[in-house]
Structure 1
Amino acid sequence: MISQEPMGTAAVITNGRGDYLLHLRDNIPGICDPGAWSLLGGGRDSDQESPADAIARELKEEAGLVLPDLLPYTVVTVQGPEGEGRITVFVGCWDGDAGELALTEGVMLHWFPAEMLPRLVMAAWARAVIEQHEQGRNGCG
């Protein structure tokens, strides 16, 4: 059976201070949101891989990050180099040092307070998701 779930995944990760963990993407042609700050995530490997399994795999592969308490948050539609797609976004908390993560894709990871985000070059969809998250947030997650 073919899954009708979105093929993309991402994670809104906050810490106890309310900062957001953002990923500076490589500035190379052919990828989504080149050179922009965005959320960690990536695509499902197949229709058989659930979005929850995909985001867990992507976080571990891209940053060595394991977050067992991720929760589904929203689904967004984005425009990428191959056309329109949908992303399942999860939320989770982590209080570690972004500089100590073993980043395997992109340029860097960094914590940012919400008030800093308007000053960053960001993926529009990621900015919108974080703004939505900020409006409804009660603590970490």
Structure 2
Amino acid sequence: MFDALANLSQIVPDAYRKAHECEDLHLGDLHFIPISVCVSGKNSDENKLDTSNEDSQWVALAVVQTYNPRRKVARSDISLPHLEGCLEKVAISAVQKSASIHMPRIGCRSGQGHKEWYAVERLLHKYAATYGVKIYVYYFKRATRSESNNRPE
């Protein structure tokens, strides 16, 4: 997912890296990152994001897993209470901006079954119905190790 976001805008991985450096990635946090097109000034140093128009786009980074690089499985399961809090925040924001929510399918690990995904799906239905916001879920096929090793640089 982060590869797709980085292809969309380098602002996303930079913001994530900065949040990590500032130790600002706590369970339940929701970081809104503007990814609107840069508006050029006279000098390239004057480029800035224009988030004032209706077509501005945002990425919402929800912190709903813990990470420990020393564990065999580095990421924890999704914390459903923290995900629910983040979904409520992003749904409220989407309603205020007359926007929709687009996200990857989360909560599925191979060999883990689909129990976690069904819990996530119920939360998505709940907030779509409660706030009347459209939520689109995208299914990405994860590249196998051999596919990712053979990618052109």
Quick check: TM above 0.5?
A: no
Higher helix share: 2
Higher strand share: 1
Q: TM-score, normalized by length of structure 1?
A: 0.26
Q: TM-score, normalized by length of structure 2?
A: 0.25
> Which of structures 1 and 2 has the bigger CA Rg?
2
**Which structure has more RCO (C-alpha within 8 Å, separation ≥ 6)?**
1
